[in-house]
């Protein structure tokens, strides 16, 4: 399925991503008490190594909250934050200015923010698709983007070297969203999940769109 | 002097004075082979332990330990290396996230990758002379064909040469 999704199916996935990431942005707005901008979701099949570049390069340090979902569909959800955005979030939530690295408290705030944001994404996804989704306990890592992404793609790697990336960029520090290295919410569905999504929504799957 | 970059599920072979690198290994394992006399070095960026996990017909050999390691040996031989002289070093195989419950086996993919690479090398009779594996952090690795030294860098940790 992966890599052979037509234009119409991609439109459907884009809509799902907009709904999920949009709900996540709304939850973040109410948490922060200020508006959070989200870019229109990009949904595209991308080779693994291109995905790593998309997040800012293999060695770029990012903070990521990771959740695995199982149930009606399965896949990984990642909330990736660049360091300036993560610092802005901690400052906004606690008033603490993080300099080098992050304090225990800062990391725990980011972990909780990720939990809320991903939870909102999953709720919207579950409501829209009419699927029960069981999320894993969220986990936080601060490390090189390549290391985090390649791990997150390992299940998809069983089927090919390309993943359909569904993501929306979020502006967490109030500045404009830059394409490279923005903070993002990713849904990386397992390849088998696409057919389930299209079937649930009555989207034909044999046409090339 | 050139540095060949190997991406996820890719491989590369270099000859002195060049080097081969892969950036940001997490649960993946960078397996390197070296022929000291010919000063030929190779690296494969293994993502998954076994081709048994592959779904569908065609697969990329460099992605799996059990196909990627033998394939790297063949590539080295084509470059003029002697398979009887090859020694291996490897790095990576970290556990990037720690959560319980569902997805447990997926989270342990790093240690499964390391085990599978070790098994593939033992099966080919290639000695593992050094490794820097496991842990919870990402690694960037460089193999220098001049010396056979594998250099490992990680965020917030001292540079390691093995």
Of A101, A147, A159, the CB nearest to B138: A147
Q: Which of A54-68, B20-34, B67-81 has the lowest mean pLDDT?
A: A54-68
Which chain B residue has the Cα nearest residue A136?
Answer: B102
Residue B131 has pLDDT above 60, yes or no: yes
Of A134, A144, A153, the CB nearest to B155: A144
A144 with B103: Cβ contact below 8 A: no
Confidence of residue A134 (pLDDT cuts 50, 70, 90): very high
Residue A2 has pLDDT above 50, yes or no: no
The pLDDT value recorded for residue A178 is 61
CA B35 – CA A67 distance, rounded (Å)? 42
Closest approach of B144 to chain A, Cα-based (Å): 19
Residue A180 has pLDDT above 80, yes or no: no
Q: Which of A15-19, A31-35, A66-70 has the lowest mean pLDDT?
A: A31-35
Provide, as residue numbers in chain A, all residues whose Cβ is less than 8 Å from the Cβ of B28: 147, 150-151
Confidence of residue A130 (pLDDT cuts 50, 70, 90): very high
Determine contact, residues A9/A194, Cβ cutoff 8 Å. Answer: yes
* φ/ψ (deg, to 5) at A139: -130, 145
Mutate to test the interface with A, among B138, B140, B142, B155 (most CBs of A within 10 A): B138
Domain range annotation of chain B: 3-161
Q: Which ipTM was obtained for this model?
A: 0.90
Of A144, A145, A155, the CB nearest to B106: A155
pLDDT digit string, tens, across residues B64-122: 999 999 999 999 999 999 999 999 999 999 999 876 544 556 668 999 999 999 999 99
Average pLDDT over residues A163-167: 88
pLDDT digit string, tens, across residues A135-148: 999 999 999 999 99
Average pLDDT over residues B16-43: 97
Average pLDDT over residues A185-198: 91
Confidence of residue A122 (pLDDT cuts 50, 70, 90): very high
The pLDDT value recorded for residue B157 is 92
Pick from B42, B38, B122, B48: which is nearest to B75 by CA? B42
Confidence of residue A133 (pLDDT cuts 50, 70, 90): very high
3 state SS of B13:
strand
More confident residue, B141 or A84: B141
Mutate to test the interface with A, among B3, B8, B137 (most CBs of A within 10 A): B8
Entry pTM: 0.91
Of B10, B24, B55, the CB nearest to A144: B24
Spell out the CATH class of B3-161: alpha beta
A52 with B24: Cβ contact below 8 A: yes
Determine contact, residues A83/A44, Cβ cutoff 8 Å. Answer: no
Which chain B residue has the Cα nearest residue A153?
Answer: B47
**Alpha-carbon distances, residue B142 vs A160, A173, B19 (angstroms):** 26, 36, 7
Which chain B residue has the Cα nearest residue A66?
Answer: B97
B26 with A151: Cβ contact below 8 A: yes
Of B56, B94, B109, the CB nearest to A154: B109
């Amino acid at each position: 399925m992966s890599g052979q999704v037509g234009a119409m199916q991609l439109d459907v996935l884009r809509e799902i991503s907009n709904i999920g990431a949009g709900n996540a942005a709304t939850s973040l707005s109410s948490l922060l008490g200020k508006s959070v901008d989200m870019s229109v979701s990009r949904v595209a099949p991308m080779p693994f190594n291109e995905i790593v570049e998309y997040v800012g390069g293999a060695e770029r340090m990012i903070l990521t909250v990771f959740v695995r979902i199982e149930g009606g569909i399965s896949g990984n959800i990642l909330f990736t934050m660049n360091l300036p955005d993560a610092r802005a979030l901690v400052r906004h939530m606690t008033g603490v200015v993080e300099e080098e690295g992050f304090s225990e408290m800062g990391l725990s705030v980011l972990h909780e923010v990720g939990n809320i944001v991903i939870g909102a994404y999953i709720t919207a996804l579950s409501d829209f698709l009419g699927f029960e989704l069981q999320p894993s306990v969220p986990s936080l890592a601060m490390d090189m983007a390549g290391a985090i992404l390649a791990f997150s793609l390992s299940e998809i790697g069983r089927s090919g070297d390309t993943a359909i990336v569904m993501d929306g960029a979020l502006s967490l520090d109030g500045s404009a969203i830059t394409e490279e290295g923005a903070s993002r919410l990713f849904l990386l569905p397992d390849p088998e999940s696409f057919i389930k999504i299209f079937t649930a929504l009555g989207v034909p799957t044999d046409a090339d769109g | 002097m050139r540095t060949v970059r190997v991406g996820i599920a890719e491989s590369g072979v270099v000859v002195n004075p060049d080097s081969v690198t892969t950036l940001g290994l997490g649960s993946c394992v960078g397996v390197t082979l070296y022929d000291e006399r010919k000063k030929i070095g190779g690296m494969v960026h293994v993502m998954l332990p076994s081709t048994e996990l592959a779904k569908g017909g065609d697969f990329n050999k460099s992605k799996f330990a059990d196909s990627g390691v033998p394939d790297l040996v063949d590539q080295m031989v084509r470059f003029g290396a002697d398979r009887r002289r090859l020694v291996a070093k490897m790095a990576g195989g970290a556990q990037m996230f720690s959560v319980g419950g569902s997805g447990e086996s997926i989270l342990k993919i790093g240690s499964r990758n390391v085990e599978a690479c070790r098994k593939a090398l033992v099966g080919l009779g290639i000695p593992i002379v050094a490794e820097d594996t496991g842990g919870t952090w990402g690694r960037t690795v460089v193999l220098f064909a001049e010396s056979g030294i594998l250099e490992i860098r990680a965020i917030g940790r001292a540079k390691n040469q093995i």
